[in-house]
Amino acid sequence: MTKKQLVEKMAEKASLTKADAERALDAFVSAISEELAAGGDVQLTGVFSLKVGERPARMGLNPKTKEKIMIPAKKVIKFKAGKQLTSLVQ
């Protein structure tokens, strides 16, 4: 589903104009992004949760030169589907 399709579906289900639905979606994404950027967690009970985790540094291998390289640690977003969402796709 694309952003455009999601906006259309939201507008239809909530009796909103497409412009209002797009503003609501943009605000939703912005709020989630700000919380994750601040290191917080996002939990929509039954739907999903998002958490910021850290992937530790590790040794890797350059596929061209076969040289060992150090891959630095980095932050990652971890997604976990909630029970309600999981049961819908089962």
Residue pointed to by tokens 């497409």: 18
pLDDT digits (tens, 9 = 90+) for 15-47: 999 999 999 999 999 999 999 999 999 999 999
Q: Model confidence over 4-19: pLDDT tens digits?
A: 999 999 999 999 999 9
CB atoms inside a 10 Å sphere around CB 23? 13
Domain 41-90 in CATH 4.10.520.10? The answer is yes
The pTM of this model reads: 0.80
Q: Read off the tokens for 54.
A: 């850290």
